Amino acid sequence: MAAVFFGDRLDAGRRLAGRLEHLRGQDVVVLGLPRGGVPVAAQIAERLGAPLDVAVVRKLGVPYQPELGMGAIGEGGVRVINDPVVRMARVTPEQLAEVEEEERAELERRARRYRGERPRAGVEGRTVVVVDDGIATGSTARVACRIVRDMGAARVVLAAPVAPQGWTDLLGDVADEFVCVDTPEDFFGIGQFYADFSQTTDEEVIACVEQLAAAAPARRRAPVAPALPVDTSFGQARDDEVAVQAGPVRLGGQLTVPDEPFGTVLFAHGSGSSRRSPRNRFVADALNRAGLATLLFDLLTEEEERDRAKVFDTELLARRLTEATGWLRERSQARWLPVGYFGASTGAAAALWAAAEPGAWIAAIVSRGGRPDMAGPRLATVSAPTLLIVGGLDEEVLSLNRQAQAQLTCENDLAVVPGATHLFEEPGALEAVAELARSWFTEHLAAAGHSVAAGR
């Protein structure tokens, strides 16, 4: 059976509301998880004639690597800590307390911004419906449910338009009832089930809450965006050996495509490596599970690899990457998919160089243990959002990345994986790289895909 596909969050909210009709007439409060869960929750609150509020939750990021979550907090003093990440990152109790204090202040600031002068909705003795736009790991929803439970809710219902199979087992007993429109078998990421999964703004959250304040009988419904056309001709999931035509040469490659991907990431390996790099393959697997297609390919022919000058010829490697991108985009099934580059070692320089080419239209770049400095003056002309990932113990490369970052004018970040050396061979290090890459590509390629679809 095909998975349910939603036009946007309003469409998802209306369909989810239909599964919650049995709560109509009960003493219900609907809480949306900002930002994306609030438009979904607004449709449910309107259908049930219930008040709408927000359930504000904040991630606790590792002090020197905020993208790497080590826990989360919510209103009412609730906190959930990921002990394995805390141990791996060697975060001290003092550092954890400092991060929590900062995030607690931000949590309170956001709660005030979303609610204005209105008090927090009372939940004691009531049925509380906690709503998000989808469930992936469930960490945020888990904290939100614990918040309302600790605040005295009589019954907690966790609702989402889409979630992976077995999601209720993942969340245990955090809720009394779980409601979902669809739990598809091939679940890689929430965004793959939405035509429009663009980021919800603070202003949209505030508008939803204001329009449904006190469950007023006359409420203005936000306009519904039409479903966007989506190119799904990639067909069924596949994992194929391919021959990539790059100019006059043919290069071996591995093309992996999940069902209905929302973007494609091309991998540029480093010197001495190839499309069979186990480290790149590990990261690619994580991206495939998130709903992204990947192409790992050899930048040089076997004969060329024996020429050390070509191995370190950034311009040549970048040209091969550009030609491989053109080859991929000529395939009808990939024409409308946004493209990202993942570069390792010298391959990172090639990725940055290629992304700086006029008309390249690359949506995001991630560098793992890369040499972005080898892209030279091209760095200042890169426009694609760029994430540089370096091991904390890879001191020389870390220094080179910091110097290169200073030359970038695009959106960028430097992520340092604590305790990791150049090859990220330490326990948990490569997993951290994969999570950072998945988060960066998911955010930027999903946004780019919406822009392309809207402009067709």
329 lies in the same domain as 285:
yes
Is the residue at 20 inside a domain? yes
Q: What is the pLDDT of residue 391?
A: 95
319 and 410: one domain? yes
For the ranges 2-11, 35-44, 447-456, which has the lowest average pLDDT?
447-456
Is 208 in the same domain as 247? no
Q: Are residues 302 and 188 in the same domain?
A: no
Residues 204 and 313 in one domain: no
pLDDT range class, residue 214, cuts 50, 70, 90: very low
The reply to whether 262 and 196 lie within a common domain is: no
Q: What is the pLDDT of residues 142-176, one digit of tens each?
A: 888 988 887 889 999 999 999 988 898 878 888 99
Same domain, 211 and 344: no
Statement to judge: residues 297 and 404 lie in one domain: yes
Q: For 47-59, how does the pLDDT look when each residue is reduced to its tens digit (9 = 90+)? A: 999 999 999 888 8
Confidence of residue 302 (pLDDT cuts 50, 70, 90): confident
Flag whether 2 is in a domain: no
Q: Do 44 and 171 reside in the same domain of the chain? A: yes
Where is mean pLDDT largest: 13-17, 68-72, 150-154? 13-17
Q: Is residue 231 part of a domain?
A: no
Q: Is the pLDDT of residue 240 over 90?
A: no
Residues 186, 47, single domain; the answer is: yes
CATH assignment at residue 85: 3.40.50.2020
- Classify residue 225: in a domain, yes or no: no
Domain stop point among 154, 182, 215:
215
Full 3-state SS string of the chain: CCCCCECCHHHHHHHHHHCCHHHCCCCEEEEECCCCHHHHHHHHHHHHCCCEEECCEEEEEECCEEEEEEEEEEHHHCEEECHHHHHHCCCCHHHHHHHHHHHHHHHHHHHHHHHCCCCCCCCECCEEEEECCCCCCCHHHHHHHHHHHHCCECEEEEEEEECCCCHHHHHCCCCCEEEEEECCCCCCCHHHHECCCCCCCHHHHHHHHHHCHHHCCCCCCCCCCCCCCCCCCCCCCEEEEEEEEECCEEEEEEEEECCCCCCEEEEECCCCCCCCCHHHHHHHHHHHHCCCEEEEECCCCHHHHCCHHHHCCHHHHHHHHHHHHHHHHCCHHHCCCCEEEEEECHHHHHHHHHHCCCCCCCCEEEEECCCHHHHHHHHHHCCCCEEEEEECCCHHHHHHHHHHHCCCCCCEEEEEECCCCCCCCCCCHHHHHHHHHHHHHHHHHHHHHHHHHHCC
Is-above-0.75 flag for pTM? no
Q: Please tell me the predicted confidence (pLDDT) of residue 84.
A: 79
Residue 419 counted as domain residue: yes
Q: Is 338 domain-assigned?
A: yes
Tell whether 267 and 176 lie within a shared domain.
no
Residue 333 — pLDDT band, cuts 50, 70, 90?
Answer: low
Residue 57 in any domain: the answer is yes
Q: According to the model, what pLDDT value does residue 408 have?
A: 94
Q: Which residue range(s) make up the domain with 396?
A: 238-454
Per the structure, how many domains does the chain have? 2
